Structure 1
Amino acid sequence: MNIAFFLLPKQEVVSVSEEATLRQTLERMERHRYTAVPVISEKGEYKATVTEGDLLWYLKANPDLSFDQLHRVPLGEVPLRLNNLPVRIDANMVDLISLAKTQNFVPVVDDMNHFIGIVRRSDIIDYTEKLLTAATHEKSLIREA
């Protein structure tokens, strides 16, 4: 089993550009109902993951900032609280699972750090559940025989 089995390709991933504004980021996250999205550079490199919490903490720290002004704030000005690490596509499953324990999704990059997609923790859990269910079913069939 390798990471590619779980990969949601970048074409299907909601992300924001490193050049996005705070307002664009908020609107994109709201439209897709996500609490975190990858931040991608102009060259297609994975840079970070921005969360709803990052945006809320920034707004709290800047109470004079109105919603109408958010289009003037570059996303780069927002401090990110978490350092969500990516995994390389050729990494082993142990590395992926280790990151997935603490991240809702794990960004996947190639050997040039270009973003190629994500692996969702929920997909790993669903796959594991299917394996466990199949193993349990097989055990019960053996006991019945």
Structure 2
Amino acid sequence: MQVRDCMITKVFTVKPSNTVKELLHILNSNRIGGVPVVDDKNHLVGMVSDGDVLRYLAPKPLGIAGLVYIIEDEELEEIIHLKLDTPVKDIMTKRNILYVSPDEEFDKTISLLSRHHLKKLPVVNRAGRVIGVLSRGDIINNISKKIISS
């Protein structure tokens, strides 16, 4: 079995210039946890996840050993509101982006996801364009349908 046999081809993506607010809308409205970041030619330039957003929006510790948080509720809302206009390029993963090709063997992809503790992998064709996404959930569904049910 190959990646093409179980990847999702309806891929939601963002551009590096999209804002965190726009990203959150895409993640929330489509009930997904991350998306590839692509340029104008749909080439993969990064990945961004709900975890990246949470790490960015989380209050930064102040004081000795980072144990003190001095932020009022109103201030926190204001800080988050200001951070929503940040471009995705400022919070996305840019280095060592892992991806697979549609021809990749399924077992190698499972190893890659588990070894690196990834939730999603973009599927990139030979031209470097994102043509799909493979998530842990997709793999579990396909194992259930194709292997266990047969």
Could you tell me the TM-score, scaled by structure 2's length? 0.72
How many percent of aligned residue pairs carry the same amino acid? Answer: 27
Q: How does 1:16-95 map to 2 (within 5 A)?
A: 16-60=14-58, 65-67=79-81, 70-71=84-85, 73-78=86-91, 80=93, 85-95=98-108
Supply the distance in 1 between the matched residues of 2:28 and 2:6 (Cα, whole angstroms). 25
RMSD across aligned positions (CA): 2.6
Deviation at 1:48, TM superposition (A): 2.2
Unaligned runs of 5+ in 2: 61-75
**How many residues are paired up?**
131
Higher strand share: 1
Residues 33-68 of structure 1: per-residue CA shift (max 9 Å, x gap): 222222122220122221112112212257663415
- Say if 1:121 and 1:66 are closer, same or farther in 2 by CA, change over 3 A: closer
Letter paired with 1:54: D
- Say if 1:2 and 1:79 are closer, same or farther in 2 by CA, change over 3 A: closer
Higher helix share: 1
Could you tell me the TM-score, scaled by structure 1's length? 0.74
Supply the distance in 2 between the matched residues of 1:126 and 1:2 (Cα, whole angstroms). 15
Supply the distance in 2 between the matched residues of 1:80 and 1:65 (Cα, whole angstroms). 22
- Say if 1:89 and 1:126 are closer, same or farther in 2 by CA, change over 3 A: same
Deviation at 1:77, TM superposition (A): 1.3
Supply the distance in 2 between the matched residues of 1:50 and 1:122 (Cα, whole angstroms). 18
Task: Flag the structure with more relative contact order, 1 or 2, with Cα contacts below 8 A and sequence separation at least 6.
Answer: 2
Supply the distance in 1 between the matched residues of 2:109 and 2:49 (Cα, whole angstroms). 20
- Say if 1:82 and 1:99 are closer, same or farther in 2 by CA, change over 3 A: farther
Check conservation: 2:122, 2:130, Cα contact below 8 A.
yes
Corresponding residue for residue 5 of structure 1: 5
Unaligned runs of 5+ in 1: 135-145
The DSSP-based 3-state class of the residue aligned with 1:18 is coil
